[in-house]
Amino acid sequence: MPQKAGFFVLFFVFSFFFFITTAVRFSPPEYSACNSKDFGYGGTVCVCSDELECDSFSEGSPLSELEYAVYTSSKAGDRFSLRTGKMRQATDRGKLHFSGAEVKFAVNLGEVFQTILGIGGAFTDAAGINILNISSTLQQKLLSSYFSQDGIEYSIGRIPMASCDFSTHTYSYDDYEGDFQMENFSLAKEDFQLKIPLMLSAIKMSKRNLTFFGSPWASPAWMKTNGKMQGPGQLKGVAGDKYHKAWALYFAMFIKAYEDNGVNIWGLTVENEPSAGYMKGYRFQCMGFTAEMERDFIKEDLGPTLAKFGYSDVKVMMLDDYRNFVESWADTILGDNQTAKYVSGIAVHWYNEGQTAPDVLTATHKKFPNHFILNTEACAGWGGLPSERGVHLGQWSRGNEYTHSVIENLSHWSTGWVDWNLALNMQGGPNWVSNFVDSPIIVDAENGLFYKQPMFYHLGHFSKFVPPGSQRIEVISSEETSLEFIGFYNTTEEHSDGNSQHSSKKYYL
């Protein structure tokens, strides 16, 4: 028998998640104990191995009417720690009121904002190498931690189109110079060995529909002005010419090749960080576009080519770069009606986002409300002093940074948030230019285990409890507070087998 989902309020305040059920019964899942380890970075990790059980979710007990549940993950070591209680106040004129010791919050059920696409991460070559470097049993535990009902249920996967810095070498899908018809286009061994098998495993174990999108770092070297995939340079020629037509065809061939191998492509970004193609001394794969160049490529080449091959429903996302570019690029690209009809959304990266107020996202949404915003890449340990780079096992502040970014961006109309590598090694790679960073899961293949970092749990508070299709709602605090908070609801009916159908509303804060 289906178990109806109730009226929920989800409350995100940095390290904890809060929801309330008010009309019908709902069972908040319980979380098992963490095998904790401290590496001296101001927090702890949870250890998973063949011998040690991985911490995971299991079925819980149903809540009664007006009962609430709170999940807490903390620097002290809590990991989705669950407690329940009874509400003191009921709804009043469309608002749900609840209070803590110091600040009261009101959820305005009548003010609804964007629909959420989801939370996820990237299937890079590096992630595949690390996951496949451990036992098959441990591989399943790691993927389950991300994608199954026992885990945090990621719903988005990003796919680098050919190589990026988190590969072991540069490669494209067509290195035959002058092949403008892409007759020699073929996926690489990395796709067949390191990416697609893991995606198929994730699809099989997930109860949610997984959304996959591709992002290119560079064209084949023979199509780029500097003759190399890496380093500053642009696509040869101008929009509408044979190079641009061939590059658009490359996208269509990528979609078909992945579909033929069981992975449907929901969307594409036009270029990963196009500003990098103009940076002197840039070390790894990149290709430069100005806003005007990207506008014309979409309008004259990419959009028509995707439509010609029957892929007009694939979501094209412009930009895929830093926040400071968002509004001006949107003005140029979406301000052109002939281009805008081919574009579905705006892709944004988190790097240096503190230098640009999130209000630019809201301003851009108001100008172009029919085009979604999606945060498509983030990672900790990428900048600063050498001591601040790479893997810091258990560093709680990096999890805080993730939660801050998710709340801030989703509060300004972003529809989701996609992390970078699903898993890295103890160094923060492999990475062919030694651009080592951090990841929510770190694999220690030498010792046959992996570590779940604070970032994993911070993201899990969103990915687990705000499924795709949820909608953001207004939350108001009674006074100024340093707490960061955000609210959601969705309209699904939960079933005992984990499937869902559209039904009564569920509210989250």
Token pair listed for 393? 């096992």
**C-alpha closest to that of 454 among 46, 34, 123:** 46
How many CA atoms lie less than 13 Å away from 449 in the CB half-sphere?
15
CA distance 452 to 444: 11
Q: In the sheet that 81-86 helps form, which strands lie side by side, from edge to edge?
A: 11-13, 16-20, 67-72, 81-86
According to DSSP, the residues that pair with 494 across neighbouring strands are: 500
- What's the chain's Rg over C-alpha atoms? 23
Range 463-496 burial, b when 16+ CB lie within 10 A, else e: bbbbbbbbbbbebeeeeeeeeebbbbbbebbbee
Q: Which residues are catalytic?
A: 273, 377
Q: Identity (one letter) of the amino acid at 86?
A: K
Residue 469 region by backbone torsions, left for phi larger than 0, else alpha for psi between -120 and 50, else beta: left
CA 325 – CA 330 distance, rounded (Å): 8
In total, the chain counts a number of residues equal to 509
Dihedral of the CA atoms 151, 153, 156, 162 (nearest 10)? Answer: 20
Q: What gap in Å lies between CA 41 and CA 14, rounded to an integer?
A: 19
